[in-house]
Chain A
Amino acid sequence: MAGQVTDPAGAPPALRHAEEVMGTVVSFDVRGGESQAVRTALEEAIAGLHRVDEVFSTYREGSQISRLARGEVTLEECDPEVAEVLALGAEAERLSDGWFSTRYEGRVDPTGIVKGWAVERAARRLSAAGASGVSVNGGGDVQLYGMPGSHRPWRVGVSDPLRPGGLAAVVSAAGTEELAVATSGTAERGAHIVDPRTGRSAVTDLVAVTVVAPRLTWADCWATAAFAMGSREGLAWLESLPDVEALLITAGDEVRCTGGLAARLG
């Protein structure tokens, strides 16, 4: 589905598209910019997501990541993006004290970082092509650039995990050029959340963690890590990270926030 919609208020026209890729749907909402340049960038961004899926899918026997995990190819023989993503994953593992990991059952598995990284890259490509407002939502994780209209910031609803269809909060990107909102929750697919201390599936009192940060690559990793940590440790750790705000919802329907989140709520 794609279409160009003209805003009656005279705001820049919106280019909308929803793409099924990486086991989910990636929704694009792109405003402004020179029409042809933005359309070309959108096509490139979509092709880039499919390429990432091909290279990084652990479900495909023949993907580079699967072959790397089986030792059939070296890192140098893979696309340069593989080394890039694994390096980012190693950084996330270090910064989260092992709560985030790109290894699963002893095999290399960067699934937990690939989607956020790929969506951020797709959004950046559109912004670089001259779009004045970019929103790319990859299965519930969002990267934003610019603004949707001249006087209006992007607004992101945060799903309420305990009330399907309802919103727990609304995050506004007012005053910032670059913002990401990522949510990790019990319904999450493909996440291998393991407690690094026990090597077993993490036990958590949380049903959802939403992280607000400039870049989706990190927001997504931090949401996953904090979810595994649980509300007490997760909140304290998130509070210690610079430029990171968060909303945590427990199974008991308690809501905990970092100190600076209020300034981001719209």
Chain B
Amino acid sequence: MHPLKRKSPLRRIVLASAATVSGTVILLSLKPHTSPSVALGAHAPSGSSASSVPGGSKGSDGSSGPTGSGGSGGSAGSKTVTGTSVPTRWGPVQVRVTMTKGRITDVTAVDYPQDNPRDQEINGYALPQLRREVLAAQSASIDTVSGASYTSEGYRQSLQSALDSAGL
């Protein structure tokens, strides 16, 4: 099964934290701030408020904040959703998702921590992993995910939150 992980517990820990990084990125970045609100505000999950926190100091061009689906506005049925720049414990993270006919066709990181070699090392696998996870869920055409119960904190790192956010 996982010979590499078996032989090297340290590597396993590193991979586990990478999964957490990417999971956080998924949630924090995919919240579509433009989704038409229904009059259910009183029940809006407080957990999601984290995603609307304006970006950290790194939003150099002042574009942090809910940018929503302004995006490319290109061909019909295709749009780009740029998430809010979100301050994480590793630094600000911002992701752009391209959707075509309601399906995610690409996921790219617009802004992410890269100040030191350790950041770059994490990015080397966390960002491709994020992309792979989202695209895998897309290709399986799933509507929802069943798994060991998550807390509201854990939800933020779940594939389910990405599906909810993308409104697929």
A4 to chain B, nearest CB (A): 6
B154 to chain A, nearest CB (A): 8
Interface of chain A residues 194 through 214 with chain B (CB within 8 A):
208, 210
Task: Name the contact of A19 in the complex, choosing from B23, B45, B149, B158 (C-beta under 8 A).
Answer: B45
Return chain A residues, CB-CB under 8 Å to B137: 157, 167
B136 within 8 A of A: yes
Contact: B38 with A2, CB < 8 Å?
Answer: yes
Contact: A18 with B48, CB < 8 Å?
Answer: yes
Q: Which residues of B contact A (CB under 8 A)?
A: 1-2, 16, 19, 22-23, 31-32, 35-40, 43-48, 77, 101-102, 129, 132-133, 136-137, 140-152, 154-155, 158-161, 163-165, 167
Q: Which residues of A contact B (CB under 8 A)?
A: 1-5, 7-8, 14-20, 23-25, 27, 29, 39, 42-43, 46-47, 50, 115, 135, 137, 139-142, 148, 154-159, 161-162, 164-167, 170-171, 181-191, 208, 210, 252-253
How far does the alpha carbon of A191 sit from the alpha carbon of B148 in the complex, in Å? 11
A-B contact count (CB 8 A): 183
Contact: B147 with A161, CB < 8 Å?
Answer: yes
Contact: B40 with A42, CB < 8 Å?
Answer: yes
Return chain B residues, CB-CB under 8 Å to A2: 35, 37-38, 40, 44
Closest to A254 in B: B1
Closest to B132 in A: A165
Task: Name the contact of B149 in the complex, choosing from A20, A39, A46, A140 (C-beta under 8 A).
Answer: A140
How far does the alpha carbon of A162 sit from the alpha carbon of B3 in the complex, in Å? 13
B76 to chain A, nearest CB (A): 9
A29-B143, A166-B136 in contact; A16/B164 too (CB < 8 A)? yes
Among B22, B31, B140, the one with the most A-chain Cβ atoms within 10 Å of its Cβ is B140
A24-B150, A167-B136 in contact; A1/B144 too (CB < 8 A)? no
Contact: A140 with B150, CB < 8 Å?
Answer: yes
